[in-house]
Amino acid sequence: MHIKLWNLVSVASRSLAENYITPTSPVPSARTCILHIERASTSDPPRSEVLSFNPQKWAVVKKAVSLRKLKKNFPISKYFQVVQSLPDDVDTSHGYHVQCYKNFTAVPQDLKTAPGDAKAKQLRSSAPPSPALSSTGVFSIQCIFCKKVQRKKGQTEERLMSCETKQAEATIKDAVKARNDHELLASIASIDFIAKEVKYHHSCRRLYTKLASSIGSPVDDKMHTSIRALTGNVVYVKGLPVEAMCSAFDYIHSPEAAIRKAALILRQEIKGVQKMPLPEYPTLQDLKAGEGSPPEILLMFFRVLYGGLSAVPCSPRVERYASSIIQDALFMTS
C-alpha cells in the first residue's frame, strides 16, 4: 500500500516539474522606439529595452520637437523623418530607448535662449506683425490664402498641401508683392516656408498667383470674352479678400448655380408663351390643349429629366408625364 502511494507521489511530482518548473522564454516587448535612429556603426553598444512613456517624458519630447523645428537645417537633419512620424499622443505600442531619448531631447542650448534674446533686443514699435504660428513653432494648419482647413472643389474635398520647394516659395512671395497684399506679406516675408511647414490649397495658390501675374497685362477682346464666359459678371477689386474671391468663383461653377440659371431660362421661356383663352364652353380637346403651347425647351427639359439622354425621343408614357407637369408649370409661372 505504501509503495503504491509513493509511486503516485513520484508521478505527480514529475508532472508538476515538467509543466511548471521548466523555464519559459521571455516574451519580447511589443513596444517600438519612436525616437530611434539607426546606429552609425555595428561597433556601437546595443540599445537597452524599450520603455513606455509617462506624461512627464512625453512632455519633454514634445518640447524638444518644437525646439528642433526652429533650426534652419531642420528639413535636412537626421531627426526630420522622426518628427514627421511622431503621433499626436502615445499609447502602449509606443516607447523609447534610453539612449534614443537622451539624444533626441539634447537640444542645443542656443535654441533655448536665442528667441528670448532676440525679442529683448528688438523694439516693439519696429517689430513686424507676428506670423500665424502654432505652439509647435510652425505655421497654423490652414491655407494661407483662404484661411480654411477644408475646401470643396466641386464634389470633392481639396486637402492642404505643404510648400516643398524654394521655387514655389519664391513664386508665392513675388505674387504677394505684386498684389501689394500687405497683410499677407507681413506674416510671410521673413518666413522659411519649408521649415515652418506653410500650407495652402493648390487651387487657391494657382488662382492667387494667376491673378497676380495678370496685373498690368493688357486684355484683348477675345480674352475678355472668354473670361466673362468663364467667370460671369465678377469684377475683381484689388482690395477684395482672397476668401471672398474663391467663394464667388466656386459658386459660379457649382451645380446650384447651374440649376438656378436653367430655372431662370425656363421661366423666361414660359413667360413668353402666347396665351389663348379657353372658350366659354370648352371641349375635352380644348382642355387637353390648354391655354398655350409649351415651349420646346421646356418639353426637352422634362424629357431628359424623366428619361435621361438615352431616352430621347422618349416613350409615350414619359411624354404623358411630361405634358401633365408642363401644364402645371405653365399655370404656376403665369
The pLDDT of 4-22, averaged and rounded, is: 51
For helices 255-271 and 296-307, give the axis angle rounded to 10 degrees.
140
Buried b (16+ CB within 10 A) or exposed e, 49-85: ebeebeeeeeeebeebbbbbbbbeebeeeebeebbee
At 218 the pLDDT is: 57
Is the Cβ–Cβ distance between 318 and 303 less than 8 Å?
yes
At 224 the pLDDT is: 64
CA distance linking residue 113 with residue 121, whole number of Å: 13
Q: What is the DSSP letter of 152?
A: E
CA distance linking residue 321 with residue 319, whole number of Å: 6
**In terms of pTM, does the model score above 0.75?**
no
At 191 the pLDDT is: 85
Computed over every residue of the chain, the mean pLDDT equals 73
C-alpha cell read off for 325: 407637369
Higher pLDDT, 127 or 155: 155
At 75 the pLDDT is: 77
Q: For residue range 43-70, what is the model confidence (pLDDT) as tens digits?
A: 556 667 889 899 889 999 999 888 888 8
Domain boundaries, the chain: 32-107, 151-252, 273-333
